[in-house]
Structure 1
Amino acid sequence: MLEGNHSTVTEFFLTGFPGLPPQYQGLVSAVLFLVYFVTLLGNATVLFLFATDRSLHKPMYYIILNLSACDILFSTTTLPKIITKYWFQSGTISFTACFVQMYFVHYLGTVNSYILFLMALDRYVAICHPLRYSLVLKNSTILILSITAWVVGKAGALMLVIRAYPLPYCASNIINHCFCDHIGITSLACTDRTSYSFPAFCVAMFCLLVPLAFILFSYISIIVIILKMTNAAGRQKTLSTCTPQIFITCLFYLPRCFVYVASTIGFSFSLDVRILLILLYSLFPAAVNPLIYCLKTKDIKQMLMRRLQT
């Protein structure tokens, strides 16, 4: 079939978990709602603490602020639709709305990766070059880098949408997923998607691996510095300043890398397991990150305790 803008599909249908028995749909929707509620509550708390306490107006906390905003936006982009699918049997999403959701899914995922890059940069400079920290990473510098992350992240996601939207969709409109993403949509196109999938793969790898390469370099450098310390108390204190960031980074990257590597070596999952893994690495960190901030970051923990005691 010749390519062109002659799609007969006017809406898509999100299946959620295709193999989920009906008796468990209520439980799954309740879990998804709980994840969404915890994500909003936890990240809104971080935003509130930042807005009401100037002592948190430091480079590291500006980065956490961006991460919280990104987590709220990503969860709001994806979770409400799949929750309503199970609550009200409303799995349909319009043709254009599906592409809008796809754009924000990939855009916010890219921004999240760049923000984790900034988080690693902050710890690298703070621990490996402490005397230069106040000169290199000022609040204004972090502000510029954060804005850059939000702006640059648009390019890849916009390219995916621009290339995928005009494809002909004239057969199945069923997306076996909980939200619209590039693979889920373009796999339904009535054309050879090879020329579209490879550039999309390259964009995904760039957004994932380039920040990850620096993150690995920075944390390896930090570990080397810590191992060279002779003072056990100093070693423990230094390690404690970067453990929250390490946890957050692992939650974001490790499951993604596992899925990509498994797919590369030919290890296959069932469709429901694959969707579950994607939801875990897409949505679970957003719910858990605020807990990590509050338990592992001294300033936020102290501020939260003071707020709870008043």
Structure 2
Amino acid sequence: MSPANSSSLRPASFLLVGIPGLEAAQHWVAIPLCAMYIVALLGNCVILFIIRTDSSLHEPMYLFLATLAVTDLVLCTSTVPKMLSIFWLGSREIEFHACFAQMFFVHSSSLVETGILVAMAFDRYVAICNPLRHATILKFATVAKIASLVLVRGLAVIAPFPLLLRRLPFCKVNVIPHSYCEHMAVLKLACADTTLNTSYGAVVTMLVVGLDGMSIVLSYVMILRAVFSLPSGQARLKSLSTCTSHVCVILIFYVPGLFSFLAHRFSQNVPQSVHILLANLYLLLPPMLNPIVYGVKTKQIRTRVSRVFHVRAPERHKTVAAERVFLENNSQGPQGLVLEQ
């Protein structure tokens, strides 16, 4: 089909259904989704503020965590506001190019996040297997280069998705049975051969996401080998404890994604409403839980958060401690007073 004919069959906008089958109740579903979004915004902004203002946290792990927080903010903010407007205001229409832009930000953010998780796994590997060379290997400039490479890779790999879709005619209905412009949901509306699009999507899933997952698994196999070779059980536990937060973040990201992927592949056995809900949770669970996990599991961040929100509490404790010492010294009698002099 010629470009002119293709552009003439391009709709001015699409209509997002929301959650098919739950249209009457989706305004109630929006309440927990909105709460999760608020928690994600607050949590990631707090993480960024703490890492930015505390120079002791300007280390590779925390710099990667800051990059992860920015990615999570982009991931959920590119979809949730529009999603809530659909659920609460019935604002289903999304402009053609805005739909493609949303698709690009959603999928590129997901791919950037997998790359950051790989970089964080490499950081844990170096910290445990080569602790003496950790500062030498992962300098600030090296961390910046890794983060830039992950970002460029995510943008470059996902850019063909909207470009390949844009060349297709959309002569079917312009209703997307989804809460946001997901690639496969939009692709099903095209009335042309989509083999190239589906093949490229399969290659990206298998090569990029598959390689990232294998890299993370390989890193932790080597980490476990190094940890269990330590002579002391306490040293093993201490080494493993430094990885718990990262492992939790990996599971939070990959498990919902795996369920969403399986639901899509076996959609004939899964209600469409369940599939869409899983896809929505996939966008919200990691941004919401990642800062909570690192805030609870990482002592430095936990301490810094307590200082931010309880500024006067330490000062009060110091005052009470000083008064207690003064009373104890004065209660020692004349000898104590002589010593004080």
Name 2:13's counterpart in structure 1.
11
Name 1:250's counterpart in structure 2.
251
Structure 1: runs of 5 or more not aligned: none
TM superposition outliers: structure 1 runs of 4+ over 4 Å? 261-267
Separation (CA, whole Å) in 2 of partners of 1:134 and 1:81: 43
Residues 29 and 259 (structure 1), Cα distance of their counterparts in 2 relative to 1, 3 Å cut? closer
Give yes or no for contact 1:2–1:191 (8 Å, CA) kept in 2. no
Q: Equivalences for 1:77-226 in 2 at 5 Å?
A: 77-226=78-227
- Render the CA deviation track for 1:167-216: whole Å, top value 9, x for unaligned: 10122111111110211111100112122211122123323111111100
Separation (CA, whole Å) in 2 of partners of 1:279 and 1:179: 9
Deviation at 1:45, TM superposition (A): 0.3
Residues 189 and 222 (structure 1), Cα distance of their counterparts in 2 relative to 1, 3 Å cut? same
Structure 2: runs of 5 or more not aligned: 312-341
Separation (CA, whole Å) in 2 of partners of 1:13 and 1:196: 22
Deviation at 1:146, TM superposition (A): 0.4
Residues 226 and 150 (structure 1), Cα distance of their counterparts in 2 relative to 1, 3 Å cut? same
Deviation at 1:21, TM superposition (A): 4.9
Residues 31 and 263 (structure 1), Cα distance of their counterparts in 2 relative to 1, 3 Å cut? closer
Give yes or no for contact 1:124–1:221 (8 Å, CA) kept in 2. yes
Separation (CA, whole Å) in 1 of partners of 2:268 and 2:7: 36
Residues 208 and 234 (structure 1), Cα distance of their counterparts in 2 relative to 1, 3 Å cut? same
Give yes or no for contact 1:9–1:171 (8 Å, CA) kept in 2. no
Separation (CA, whole Å) in 2 of partners of 1:104 and 1:283: 14
Paired residues, what number? 309
Deviation at 1:142, TM superposition (A): 0.5
**Percentage of pairs with the same residue:** 36
Note the aligned Cα RMSD (angstroms): 1.7
Q: Bigger radius of gyration, 1 or 2? A: 2
- Render the CA deviation track for 1:42-101: whole Å, top value 9, x for unaligned: 000001101111111111100000000000111110100010011111011011110011
SS at structure 1 position matched to 2:14: strand
Separation (CA, whole Å) in 1 of partners of 2:265 and 2:94: 31
TM-score by length of 1: 0.94
Residues 54 and 225 (structure 1), Cα distance of their counterparts in 2 relative to 1, 3 Å cut? same
Separation (CA, whole Å) in 2 of partners of 1:208 and 1:72: 21
Deviation at 1:2, TM superposition (A): 6.9
1:273 aligns with 2:274: yes
Deviation at 1:105, TM superposition (A): 0.9
Separation (CA, whole Å) in 2 of partners of 1:83 and 1:259: 20
Name 1:47's counterpart in structure 2.
48
